[in-house]
Amino acid sequence: MASSGSGYDLSSSTFSPDGRIFQIEYAAKAVENAGTALGLRCRDGVVLAVEKPLQNKMLVAKTTGRRIHTVDEHAGVAMTGFVSDGRQIVNRAREEASSYNETYGTKIPPQTLASRLSAYIHYFTLHGALRPFGCSTLVAAYDPATSKHSLHMVEPSGVSYEYFGAAAGRGRQPARTEMEKLAINPKTAGGTGEGGPDDNLITVAEGVKQLAKIIYTLHDESKDKPFELEMSWLCEGTEWKHAGVPRDVMEEAVTWAKKEIEEADEEESEEEDEEMEE
């Protein structure tokens, strides 16, 4: 009975005999069935990207609910899963940022914002009268006090971690595999130049292209619904203010991504032809 969740999935405050909370697992499943959300911590900033599926061809794309929101001048949130749940998390993030600024007279640090959001989300897993949020959030923020930028992800269970590259949603696993190939981790990038250990990391300009490529690579036109790509960044070029990626930059990135995918497909087909000839 425990393996199927029968009798143990009526409340998020009930553990199954093997130590599982099925309500949280169901919330995580809702996220896995949603569009892909990606985040990259680059050398000079953070980039967020979300695949926003269009449920109906008659819908006006800009009115279907944004997936990326600004919660403070130096902080932004990308979400995937239930959009309505995500809006509540965004509102909470804005309240936390405003409250911190009023209390301490400074911008909320990224780690503090992520911790407070994770505590808020975790609260909804502790009471039988509540249900977990069916939404994962990626938090990109900059701390003016330390002059450092970071990327965090908060999961439906209320757990949050800091990442060099984070992914949530339907294409989470293959997206992680692709991001691991990028120069985003100072320990593996091998930076040894005058700029320090981060000098070999990719820039936000390159990060925009790479995230566009990953999302279009994962999208299967024959199976998946049409989608709109949302992207934002927080970088030196925007004076560390969270802002949407300009339309011309996005179009250039999408064009580059599609070209790279086509070339990769052509090379793969040529290799298959050579193997067949042999």
Structure token pair of residue 241: 């203010």
Question: Mean pLDDT over all residues of the chain?
Answer: 88
End-to-end CA distance of the chain: 54
Looking at residue 276, what is its pLDDT?
A: 58
> Identity (one letter) of the amino acid at 208?
V
Residue 189 pLDDT > 70, yes or no?
Answer: no
> Cβ–Cβ contacts within 10 Å for residue 96, how many?
21
Residue 14 pLDDT > 70, yes or no?
Answer: yes
Residue 263 pLDDT > 70, yes or no?
Answer: yes
pLDDT band at 226 (very low <50, low <70, confident <90, very high): confident
pLDDT digits (tens, 9 = 90+) for 22-38: 999 999 999 999 999 99
Residue 192 pLDDT > 60, yes or no?
Answer: no
Looking at residue 239, what is its pLDDT?
A: 93
Looking at residue 41, what is its pLDDT?
A: 95
Looking at residue 220, what is its pLDDT?
A: 81
Looking at residue 230, what is its pLDDT?
A: 93
Percent residues over pLDDT 70 in the chain: 89
180-186 mean pLDDT:
86
Q: What is the DSSP string of 17-68?
A: TTS--HHHHHHHHHHHTS--EEEEEETTEEEEEEEEE-S-TTS-GGGS--SE
pLDDT digits (tens, 9 = 90+) for 111-156: 999 999 999 999 999 988 899 999 999 999 999 999 999 999 999 9
Report whether 202 contacts 210 (CB < 8 A).
yes
> Identity (one letter) of the amino acid at 203?
T
pLDDT digits (tens, 9 = 90+) for 91-110: 999 999 999 999 999 999 99
